[in-house]
Each structure stands twice: as C-alpha cells, then as structure tokens.
Amino acid sequence: MNKKQKHIPVRLSGLVDGRHELDYSVAPDEIDLPEEFGEPVSVHVDLDKTHSQIALHVQVETAATYPCDRCLDPVRIPVTTDFVLVYAHDNSGSGDGESDIREIPVHDPTVDIAEDVRDAAVLCIPMRRICGEDAEGNPTCRKPIPDAIRAEKQTREDPRWDALKKLDLDR
Ligand SMILES: [Zn+2]
C-alpha cells in the first residue's frame, strides 16, 4: 500500500454536527488484501459528528476465494464485517492510556481508514475452510479427496515411530 496516497480517505474537518454517510469501493489489491480477495471491497461509513468527537461506523463487504481444505475446490467466503472508530481533537485528557480514541491530525484532518478495513476483512477468514458440512457433519465436497492429499497425510506420520516399532522390547 502506498502510504502517501490515501485509499479510503475520510475528511474529519469542515463537517457540521450530525450524521454523514460516505460510500467507497476499492480494489482489494489497492488496500493490500491477500490475493485470495478477488472482489471489489465496498465500504460504507456512517459518520456521527458531535462537538467533541467524530465516530465512524464502518461497514465492509467483499468476498475471498480459498481452496477447500479437504478437496481443494474453490470456496467463496463472503466477508461482511463492521467496526467503530472514534476521533477527537484532543485525547490527552483521557489519561487512562487504554482509550481507543484517536486524535484528529491537526494539519491533515483527512484520515485513511484503508488499514483498518484491511485488518477487519482479513480477520473474517476462518482458519478452517471447507466446502461445507451436512447436518451429520459430513463434508459436502463434490469430489473425493485427491490421492495427493491422502499420501501427504501418511508421510506426515513421524518416521521415528517406525524405528521404535522395530525394536525388540521383549528381550
Ligand atoms: Zn471441499
């Protein structure tokens, strides 16, 4: 991601108090998403400005395609997530050090939320990715598991056990 360029710019200055809605559509590679993300990322920002702070409710929608862990068929994973960012002109008064409130940059009050959007989208991808399961928990993969994967699983067994099995322990 080009740090100098703002990919999802949100202007935090010159706004009247109240709600403002913003919509963006960015290419996944523009915000450094992994290549499995192959669809445009749509971002909806619901901005709520009060005299003391600006809250952004950000909704993200896109999809990624990963190979199924069982059969390697492509699995489309819809990504829908949302998060809230809060900005204030001066958060030094909060003092507890645990505040998530960000400071509005004085000289450049247009913030880029691209990194936040990318992180939120990546978190939506589960560790286990399979075509699906039926009510009994059986995989709904259309094809059988390729032999290559089965063979790989077998060779992954620790060969040191074979050596132990060969030892004559009854001696
Ligand atoms: Zn599958």
**Residue-by-residue pLDDT tens, the chain, 171 positions:** 666 789 999 999 999 999 999 999 999 999 999 999 999 999 999 999 999 999 999 999 999 999 999 899 999 999 999 999 999 987 565 555 556 899 999 899 999 999 999 999 999 999 999 998 889 888 889 866 666 555 555 555 566 666 666 666 555
From ligand 1's centre to the CA of 145, what distance in Å?
A: 8
From ligand 1's centre to the CA of 147, what distance in Å?
A: 14
Quote the Cα angle for 134-136-141, to 5°. Answer: 35
From ligand 1's centre to the CA of 67, what distance in Å?
A: 8
Rg (C-alpha) for the chain, rounded Å, is 24
From ligand 1's centre to the CA of 141, what distance in Å?
A: 4
pTM over 0.85: no
From ligand 1's centre to the CA of 132, what distance in Å?
A: 7
Res 116: pLDDT: 97
From ligand 1's centre to the CA of 120, what distance in Å?
A: 26
From ligand 1's centre to the CA of 73, what distance in Å?
A: 5
Res 14: pLDDT: 92
Domain coordinates in residue numbering, the chain = 9-166
Task: Output the six-digit token pair for 35.
Answer: 């290549």
From ligand 1's centre to the CA of 1, what distance in Å?
A: 33
Q: Nearest 5°: phi and psi at 49?
A: -100, 130
- How many CA atoms within 13 Å lie on the side-chain side of 87? 20
